[in-house]
Amino acid sequence: MSDSRRETTLRGLLLGSLLGPLLGLLVVATGVSFYGARLAATHAFDRVLMDPVQALSQRVVVQNGKLVLQMSPETLHTLFTHVYDVAWFQILDARHQQIAGNMNLPVPDRLSSKPRFYDAVIRGANVRVGVVRVRLDSDPLVGNEAPEVIIQVAETLIRRDRNLYELMALMITPALLVVLTAIAMVSFGIGHGLKPLDALRQEIANRSWHDLHPVNEMSAPLEIRPVIVALNQLLADLAHVLDTQQRFLANAAHQLRTPLAGLQTQVELLLRDSRSDETRDALRVVLDTTRRVTHLANQLLALARAEPGGSHLLNMQYINLADLVELDMAMWLARAQARNIDLGFELEPVMVEADMLQLGEMLGNLVDNALRYTQEGGVITVRSRYDGAGILEVEDNGPGIPEAQREKVLERFYRIEGSPGNGCGLGLSIVAEIARSHHARLQILTPASGRGLLVRVVFASASGLPHA
Ligand SMILES: Nc1ncnc2c1ncn2[C@@H]1O[C@H](COP(=O)(O)OP(=O)(O)O)[C@@H](O)[C@H]1O
Ligand SMILES: [Mg+2]
């Protein structure tokens, strides 16, 4: 298909299919009425052309047995002088001998008392000619039968042409107006009619990939609904696939945890009872790997739960961020102490609407990262406060994350090269996922001191005072 690349627009299609025929119709209609009007005008002009005939015929008399025109040059002048056109005449007897006149055009045969009209050329000018046979009033003196004469008149076409142009302008102007109005109306109508499509486009464009709920089809015009229905079907299928995948992942991760825990216990027992140094070294590697895999299974499960449509339904309630931090405080303090890290808390009460387990998971991952990546002797501070929004912060003075990597670290399984520990790169993905499902903003910043990392989660809907 060579013109598959040609763009088609609805506006173009509609304008083409409407305006083509409309234009044709107008041309035909204008042509027909123009033809009719011209015919009527020609008749009227022809009748006026013959006006002098009667005056002429009354002045043709028999003199000395010959027909002559008895008319003063002044009267003739009046009869044949027009404002625009030049006019001529001639009077002939029955044998076509000229009696009077100032032109010399051949006369057609078989004339009757009904005027005949035709076009001709006189001295290079296009003219309209009228010719008629007139029986003179019978001459009582001679007593003969009244003689017949042929009277021929001609005039140039200036007035007729002028009239024709006026007529044309008169007919084309409204036709053009109709066309222009039609174009304007069709254009406007199409723009107006396409508004729902634009609204639909915006609704879809504004969505994130997480949002797979169906598009409202009822507000769209009937013609677009099939498209929306098909789109909604696709969205539903997609949501189903995602859901199945997440369920599978969550199940798999969950199923892995029990045997892994058993494995870990067994290895720990073996390690305790083993006498050979070689075996103990090998067992330590096994234990370390087992812990790493357990951590991975736990993180996978957390991620699957945090994802939209994940098996975990959000249980939203009002939570005091300060209380949340205190839940796991003891465990973190123990870990901090082991690494000689100064872990501090600056907690103000602030209520946010959240899922307790998910928010705990998020905070746990942030503190875990800080404890993992901050050097021995470092400082970590966890904060909660109300600042027009609910704010949860974990700040450390460790190595931090280079600005260029701050988007990347949110990706799944992404770890900064050379990072210590047995992480799997899912922690910050989980944090981002939970922030998103809570409509909270996640910011990865550099602390005011210029060193370390400050991760801030901002909950827009929050209040500074604890709810009753
Ligand atoms: N507090 C932090 N200080 C320095 N680097 C961090 C911090 N938190 C996360 N990172 C970096 O971001 C990467 C991604 O973190 P995360 O998603 O939690 O995965 P993981 O901790 O399993 O490696 C880590 O590998 C680490 O390099
Ligand atoms: Mg981590």
Residue 230 lies in a domain: yes
Q: Which of 300, 303, 373 best tests ligand 1's pocket when mutated (most atoms within 8 Å of CB)?
A: 373
Which is higher by pLDDT, 152 or 105?
152
What is the CA(413)–ligand 2 centre distance, in A? 10
Check whether 152 has a pLDDT greater than 60.
yes
The pLDDT assigned to 398 comes to 96
DSSP 196-235: HHHHHHHHHHT--TT--PPP--TTS-TTTHHHHHHHHHHH
Check whether 467 has a pLDDT greater than 60.
no
For 308, list phi and psi in degrees, rounded to 5: -60, 140
* Nearest atom in ligand 1 to 398's CA: 3
In this prediction, residue 198 has a pLDDT band, given cuts at 50, 70 and 90, of: confident
Domain end: 135, 156, 177, which one? 156
Check whether 141 has a pLDDT greater than 60.
no
* Cα angle value 408/413/415 (rounded, 5°): 60
Which is higher by pLDDT, 394 or 73?
394
Q: What's the sign of the alpha-carbon dihedral 99, 100, 104, 105?
A: negative
* Nearest atom in ligand 1 to 426's CA: 17
Q: What's the rounded mean pLDDT across residues 113-126? A: 91
What is the CA(373)–ligand 1 centre distance, in A? 7
Q: CA gyration radius for the chain?
A: 52
Q: Dihedral (C-alpha) 445, 448, 453, 455: value to the nearest 10 degrees?
A: -50
Q: Which residue has the tokens 């602390």?
A: 447
Say if CB 171 and CB 33 are below 8 A apart: yes
* Nearest atom in ligand 1 to 416's CA: 27
DSSP 261-304: HHHHHHHHHHHHH---HHHHHHHHHHHHHHHHHHHHHHHHHHHH
Q: What's the rounded mean pLDDT across residues 196-209? A: 85
Spatial distance between the Cα atoms of 373 and 361, rounded to a whole number of angstroms = 18
| Orientation of helix 51-58 relative to helix 10-49, angle to 10° | 10
- Residue 332 and residue 457 in one domain: yes
Ligand closest in space to the Cα of 409: 1
Name the most confidently modeled range: 151-155, 175-179, 222-226, 246-250.
Answer: 151-155
Q: Which residue has the tokens 């994350």?
A: 401
Q: What's the rounded mean pLDDT across residues 303-312? A: 74
**Closest residue (by CA) to atom 8 of ligand 1?**
369
Residue 11 lies in a domain: no
What is the CA(142)–ligand 1 centre distance, in A? 137
Residue 191 lies in a domain: no
- Residue 254 and residue 118 in one domain: no
In this prediction, residue 108 has a pLDDT band, given cuts at 50, 70 and 90, of: confident
Query: Please, which residues bridge with residue 459 across strands?
Result: 390, 440
* Nearest atom in ligand 1 to 424's CA: 22
What is the CA(324)–ligand 2 centre distance, in A? 19
**Closest residue (by CA) to atom 7 of ligand 1?**
369
Residue 123 lies in a domain: yes
Q: Which of 298, 294, 352, 295 is nearest to 325 (CA)?
A: 352
Least confident of 58-67, 112-121, 408-417: 58-67
Check whether 110 has a pLDDT greater than 60.
yes
What is the CA(145)–ligand 2 centre distance, in A? 133
The pLDDT assigned to 186 comes to 81
* Nearest atom in ligand 1 to 425's CA: 19
- Residue 361 and residue 440 in one domain: yes
Pocket of ligand 1 (CB under 6 A): 365, 369-370, 373, 396, 398-401, 409, 415-416, 419, 423-429, 453
Q: Determine the structural domain holding residue 234 and report its residue range.
A: 225-306
**Closest residue (by CA) to atom 13 of ligand 1?**
415
In this prediction, residue 266 has a pLDDT band, given cuts at 50, 70 and 90, of: very high
- Residue 397 and residue 276 in one domain: no
Say if CB 321 and CB 352 are below 8 A apart: yes
- Residue 452 and residue 361 in one domain: yes
Q: Which amino acid is at 119?
A: D
Q: Which of 300, 343, 369 best tests ligand 1's pocket when mutated (most atoms within 8 Å of CB)?
A: 369
What is the CA(245)–ligand 1 centre distance, in A? 26
Q: Residue 65 — left, alpha, or beta (φ > 0 → left; ψ -120 to 50 → alpha)? A: left
What number of CA atoms fall less than 13 Å from residue 321's CA on the CB side?
31
- Residue 323 and residue 300 in one domain: no
Cα–Cα distances in Å, from 126 out to 119, 122, 164, 207, 368?
7, 7, 15, 76, 106
Name the most confidently modeled range: 241-255, 284-298, 452-466.
Answer: 284-298
Say if CB 381 and CB 344 are below 8 A apart: yes
How many independent structural domains does the chain possess? 3
Say if CB 121 and CB 154 are below 8 A apart: no
The pLDDT assigned to 2 comes to 46
Q: What's the sign of the alpha-carbon dihedral 289, 325, 369, 424?
A: positive
Check whether 185 has a pLDDT greater than 80.
yes
> What is the per-residue pLDDT across 396-455, written as a single tens digit (0 to 9) for each?
999 999 999 999 999 999 999 888 887 899 999 999 999 999 999 999 999 999 999 999
- Residue 404 and residue 293 in one domain: no
**Closest residue (by CA) to atom 19 of ligand 1?**
425
Q: Which residues, other chains included, contact 211 with Cβ-Cβ below 8 Å and sequence gap of 6+?
A: 308
Residue 220 lies in a domain: no
The pLDDT assigned to 1 comes to 43
Supply the mean pLDDT for the chain. 89
In this prediction, residue 9 has a pLDDT band, given cuts at 50, 70 and 90, of: confident
| CATH code, 272 | 1.10.287.130
* Nearest atom in ligand 1 to 428's CA: 17
Q: Which residue has the tokens 């993905």?
A: 429
pTM of the model: 0.64
- Residue 147 and residue 273 in one domain: no
| CATH code, 95 | 3.30.450.140
Cα–Cα distances in Å, from 145 out to 91, 138, 139, 180?
19, 6, 8, 67
Q: Provide, rounded to the nearest whole percent, the portion of the chain with pLDDT above 90.
A: 54
- Residue 288 and residue 395 in one domain: no
Q: Which amino acid is at 91?
A: I
Say if CB 428 and CB 409 are below 8 A apart: yes
**Closest residue (by CA) to atom 24 of ligand 1?**
415
What is the CA(173)–ligand 2 centre distance, in A? 78
Domain end: 103, 124, 156, which one? 156
Q: Which residues, other chains included, contact 459 with Cβ-Cβ below 8 Å and sequence gap of 6+?
A: 352, 353, 354, 389, 390, 391, 392, 438, 439, 440
* Cα angle value 402/407/413 (rounded, 5°): 100
Domain end: 306, 339, 365, which one? 306
- Residue 328 and residue 297 in one domain: no
What is the CA(370)–ligand 2 centre distance, in A? 8
Residue 446 lies in a domain: yes
Check whether 468 has a pLDDT greater than 50.
no
- Residue 275 and residue 331 in one domain: no
| CATH code, 362 | 3.30.565.10
- Residue 358 and residue 438 in one domain: yes
Residue 16 lies in a domain: no
Residue 374 lies in a domain: yes
What is the CA(166)–ligand 1 centre distance, in A? 86
DSSP 94-113: TT--EEEES------SS--S
> What is the per-residue pLDDT across 321-372, written as a single tens digit (0 to 9) for each?
999 999 999 999 999 999 999 999 999 999 999 999 999 999 999 999 999 9
The pLDDT assigned to 367 comes to 98
Name the most confidently modeled range: 13-27, 66-80, 206-220, 259-273.
Answer: 259-273
* Nearest atom in ligand 1 to 429's CA: 17
The pLDDT assigned to 466 comes to 54
